[in-house]
Amino acid sequence: MPVEVRLPTVLRSQAGGRSTVSVEGSTVGEVLRSLISQHPGMGEQVLNPDGTLHRFVNVYVNDDDVRYLSALDTPVKEGDEVSILPAVAGG
């Protein structure tokens, strides 16, 4: 099923400048792998080599942080919005 993925500015160049892309998947992991297969340059910035979520990237389904749900196994359905946001640190 198609899911809309919102991209941060840092990843938009990998997607032809688009701020959103539509990809297939029934879990966050499937959505991210589909996104990376369409736009391979995003791979290193989103997932670690072992396939886990990069620690400096936050992913939300609608407004819920997947780290507090089922991480990459979080289910998504048509109409859901997946947002990728770089983690912000400061002090």
Per residue of the chain (91 residues), give pLDDT as tens: 799 999 999 999 999 999 999 999 999 999 999 999 999 999 999 999 999 999 889 999 999 999 999 999 999 999 999 999 987 765 5
User: Would you say 4 and 81 are in contact if contact means Cβ atoms under 8 Å apart?
Assistant: yes
* Domain of 15, in residue numbers: 2-86
Judge whether 35 lies within some domain: yes
Report the pLDDT value the prediction gives residue 86, as an integer from 0 to 100.
87
Q: How many domains does the chain have?
A: 1
Judge whether 91 lies within some domain: no
CATH number at residue 57: 3.10.20.30
Contacts of 53 (CB under 8 A, 6+ apart): 32, 46, 47, 59, 66, 67, 71, 72
